[in-house]
Amino acid sequence: MASINARSGKLRIELRVHGERCREQTALPDTPANRRKLQKLINDIDADIRLGCFV
């Protein structure tokens, strides 16, 4: 399961893929609208991971 965190005012996605922790920094400021955008992206990524087609 992925999560959204803020660091230095910018949003970051943290997730585990194939047993490895991945952290991706975005250029998006921490706003409710940007968190909703990232949540949609996370839902897609989680689905791809479950299907085994995430690279």
Read off the pLDDT of residues 9-46 as tens digits, 9 standing for 90 and up.
999 999 988 888 999 999 999 999 999 999 999 999 88
Domain boundaries, the chain: 3-51
Q: How far apart are CA 46 and CA 44, in angstroms?
A: 5
Q: How far apart are CA 37 and CA 39, in angstroms?
A: 5
32-55 CB burial, b ≥16 within 10 A, e <16: eebeeebeeebeebeeebeeeeee
Is the full-model pTM beyond 0.85?
no
- Examine the pLDDT at 53 and tell me if it is beyond 90: no
48 φ, ψ (degrees, to nearest 5): -65, -40
Cα separation, 55 vs 48, whole angstroms: 9
